[in-house]
Amino acid sequence: MDQYKTPKRPLIVYFAIFILAIFLFNMLLMPLLTRTPETTYDDFLSKLEAGQVKVVQMSRDTEEILFQTEEDGKTRIYSLGQMEDGTALTQRLEGSGVKFGAVIPQQPSMLGSILSWLLPIVVMLLGSQLLFRSLQKRMGGPNSMQFGKSSAKVYVSAQTGIRFADVAGEDEAKEALGEIVDFLHNPDKYKEIGAAMPKGALLVGPPGTGKTLLAKAVAGEADVPFFSISGSEFVEMFVGMGAARVRDLFKQAQEKAPCIVFIDEIDTIGKKRDGGGMTGNDEREQTLNQLLTEMDGFSSDKGVVILAATNRPESLDPALLRPGRFDRRVPVELPDLQGREAILRVHARKVKLAPEADLHATALATAGASGAELANIINEAALHAVRLERKAISQADLDEAVETVIAGYQRKGAVIPEKQKRIVAYHEIGHALVAARQSDSAPVHKITIVPRTSGALGYTMQVEQEETVLMSREEAFNKIATFTGGRSAEELVFGTYTSGASNDIEQATKLARAMVARLGMSERFDMTALETVGSKYLGGDASLTCSEQTAAQVDQEVIALIKSAHRKALGILEENRAKLDELASFLLERETITGEEFMEILNSPAQ
Ligand code: ADP
Ligand code: MG
Ligand code: ZN
């Protein structure tokens, strides 16, 4: 963005020029202008003879001889310069009756005295003008004096022209945003019932998954103006500028309502405000406060919908996520096999593809790649085809592009190697299988081995069929067994452990601990409360309310509980080994498997 490029000359240069000018003026020009005209000794003598010399004086600081004359009624001052020996002069003067040693008032010329105060002012004005201009250049926008004027770009739908059809995959995100589009289309439908639209939706997902694209698509679909500003634009601004910009952005938006305000990379301004005093990022905090104020300040029925995107939701200030602000969260996850193929197709529309090129094969080879990376693969393939002077992109070009692009990403560990994918698949099926075989556990809804935003390599989504208010001892125990199911499958099939179970371990331990210490679900302690939980609103940390010896016993009880649940899970998986293999290889192939598919395979007769 050219508003923010650094000026060619840094400010310090202007300062230097300014100081130098004043310095030179004082050194060279001032003495010239105010200098007393010098004259010769002969001239002095002739003036003395003519009786024009009135006063003679030796200047104290420069040690020159000055004399004052009166010629034709005008007072003049001359200088004789410095004299080696003043005795001859003194003798002459004594005879002539001229006053000697009296003080002659220094009388600089009129021009000199005016310039001596005018010039510095002029220089100063010029200097500050230059300074000011270069400051303006930095702050963005040539529209002078309007310090806080936002440079928020206005995109009108005709210009973005992006539709939901341009965003491939991400069906869940599109569905969630579809409601916003509908609201912007006919707000009356919502007003009639009195339904208030959420003010803001937060798009959350890893980089390159199409969050910015989705936001533009919402504007395109709804056919409303699109104001966008990126959080990083607030960085490197003067104090108060960010807040002024936010204010202005919302003012513009309200004038143009219905419209969409999109704040990209909101984590740059919306970071948690930590109370720790001296960190002193006042600017960011002010900007964030202004944003919160603005969001509270208008009601959504005006038709301003705020979208924001981030890939670090955990670092956001909780105030931003409160109801009435970004209370809706739209996950934008990495695409699965189907999604990847769809994205490749979207981008392949813009290039010439040879009939034998197989995008499905390319999608298969790019597990874990994001939409941006897939778009890049198509472009690389096109470049490769041009390099080889082909008429269209062939499969070989695609393969080559996958290799160049993925080689670049493997360093970042985004694309999962085959071996690890196998482990993850078995791990996830392990959870699901243990859950399904225990009557009291909820069936799985969806299993995927596409890496998630949370950092988990795979994910088993369970749906509780009815809201669980009460959990029996058996249910709790089975839940722990399900948590251990992932690791159990790894043990059974690969004979090793991986770090993939860390979250399972944490959750299993938490539940087991609660069973023993708070829920009275152990023989040994019966209904004794050994732990109390602090206020839920203050974080809900549990604190011990028992002796150290008892605490040690609690630990043992928890360990025993988990061990027995783990044994149970292993037993279930051993019994169902054939189904485990079948399901795992199916998942490996498809990357995502729905609850129905899962149950279908599980209940089909063994081959
Ligand atoms: P993010 O904002 O999530 O980092 P972008 O929206 O900037 O990602 O995506 C970068 C580019 O990647 C897009 O301009 C588009 O070309 C491509 N892309 C990403 N996701 C998709 C998708 N789901 N469908 C089509 N193209 C996508
Ligand atoms: Mg983006
Ligand atoms: Zn797990």
Q: Give 14-53 pLDDT, tens digit per residue.
A: 778 877 877 777 777 666 666 667 777 788 778 777 777 7
Query: Within 10 A of 411 (CB to CB), how many other CB atoms are there?
Result: 7
**Given pLDDT bands bounded at 50, 70 and 90, which one contains residue 454?**
very low
Q: What are 392-447's pLDDT values in tens digits?
A: 999 888 888 887 777 554 444 456 677 888 998 999 999 999 988 886 555 677 78
pLDDT of residue 211: 92
- The beta strand positions in 173-252, using DSSP E, are 200-204, 226-230
DSSP code for 109:
-
In this structure, are residues 333 and 453 in contact, taking their beta carbons and an 8 Å threshold? yes
Position with higher pLDDT, 343 vs 463: 343
Q: What is the spatial distance between Cα 290 and Cα 264, in angstroms, rounded to a whole number?
A: 16
Question: β-strand 200-204 against 328-331: which pairing, if any?
Answer: parallel
> 495: alpha, beta or left, given left = phi > 0 and alpha = psi -120 to 50?
left
Please give the backbone phi and psi of residue 465, each rounded to the nearest 5 degrees, phi first.
-70, -35
Q: Which atom of ligand 1 is nearest to the CA of 342?
A: 24
Position with higher pLDDT, 345 vs 60: 345
The kind and range of the H/E element at 114 are helix 110-139
Q: Which ligand is nearest to the CA of 266?
A: 2
Find where tokens 């959420």 sit.
Answer: 198
Find where tokens 């302690």 sit.
Answer: 525
204 lines ligand 1 (CB under 6 A): no
In this structure, are residues 393 and 352 in contact, taking their beta carbons and an 8 Å threshold? yes
Query: Letter for the amino acid at 432?
Result: A
Q: What is the spatial distance between Cα 58 and Cα 63, in angstroms, rounded to a whole number?
A: 6
Percent of the chain with pLDDT over 70: 76
Q: What is the spatial distance between Cα 92 and Cα 527, in angstroms, rounded to a whole number?
A: 126
Say if residue 468 is exposed, middle or buried (CB neighbours under 10 Å; 0-12, 13-18, 19+): exposed
What's the average model confidence in pLDDT over 52-66? 72
Q: What is the spatial distance between Cα 195 and Cα 209, in angstroms, rounded to a whole number?
A: 31
Q: What is the spatial distance between Cα 441 and Cα 452, in angstroms, rounded to a whole number?
A: 24
DSSP code for 58:
E
In this structure, are residues 329 and 322 in contact, taking their beta carbons and an 8 Å threshold? no
pTM for this structure? 0.57
Q: What is the spatial distance between Cα 446 and Cα 461, in angstroms, rounded to a whole number?
A: 5
212 lines ligand 1 (CB under 6 A): yes
DSSP string, 411-450: TTT-SPPHHHHHHHHHHHHHHHHHHHHSTTSPPEEEEE-S
Ligand 3 (single-atom ion) residues, CB below 5 Å: 486, 504
168 lines ligand 1 (CB under 6 A): yes
- Whole-number Å distance, alpha carbon 483 to ligand 1 midpoint, is 35
**Given pLDDT bands bounded at 50, 70 and 90, which one contains residue 2?**
very low
Q: What are 287-303's pLDDT values in tens digits?
A: 888 888 888 877 666 77
DSSP code for 353:
B
Task: Give the closest residue (by CA) to ligand 1 atom 17.
Answer: 372
Query: Letter for the amino acid at 208?
Result: G
DSSP string, 246-268: HHHHHHHHHHT-SEEEEEETGGG
423 lines ligand 1 (CB under 6 A): no
User: 3-class SS at 556?
Assistant: helix
206 lines ligand 1 (CB under 6 A): no
Q: Which atom of ligand 1 is nearest to the CA of 207?
A: 4
Residue 123 has pLDDT above 50, yes or no: yes
- Whole-number Å distance, alpha carbon 359 to ligand 3 midpoint, is 32
Residue 166 has pLDDT above 50, yes or no: yes
DSSP code for 455:
S
Please give the backbone phi and psi of residue 2, each rounded to the nearest 5 degrees, phi first.
-75, -15
Q: Which atom of ligand 1 is nearest to the CA of 168?
A: 24
| Residue-level length of the chain | 607
Please give the backbone phi and psi of residue 153, each rounded to the nearest 5 degrees, phi first.
-80, 145
Q: What is the spatial distance between Cα 570 and Cα 565, in angstroms, rounded to a whole number?
A: 9
Q: Which atom of ligand 1 is nearest to the CA of 211?
A: 3
What's the average model confidence in pLDDT over 216-229? 86
pLDDT of residue 136: 59
309 lines ligand 1 (CB under 6 A): yes
308 lines ligand 1 (CB under 6 A): no
DSSP string, 307-323: EEEES-GGGB-GGGGST
Q: Which ligand is nearest to the CA of 434?
A: 3
Question: How large is the angle between the packed helices 171-185 and 211-222, nearest 10 degrees?
Answer: 30
Token digits of residue 343: 């994205």
Q: What is the spatial distance between Cα 483 and Cα 498, in angstroms, rounded to a whole number?
A: 15
In this structure, are residues 483 and 476 in contact, taking their beta carbons and an 8 Å threshold? no
Q: Which residues are catalytic, by number?
A: 428
Q: What are 495-521's pLDDT values in tens digits?
A: 988 888 888 898 899 889 989 988 888
Q: Which residues contact 93 (CB under 8 A, 6 or more apart)?
A: 56, 100
Q: What is the spatial distance between Cα 459 and Cα 446, in angstroms, rounded to a whole number?
A: 8
Token digits of residue 315: 């670092």
Say if residue 92 is exposed, middle or buried (CB neighbours under 10 Å; 0-12, 13-18, 19+): middle
pLDDT of residue 145: 41
In this structure, are residues 226 and 389 in contact, taking their beta carbons and an 8 Å threshold? no
In this structure, of 28-42, 181-195, 450-464, the range with the lowest mean pLDDT score is 450-464
- Whole-number Å distance, alpha carbon 487 to ligand 3 midpoint, is 7
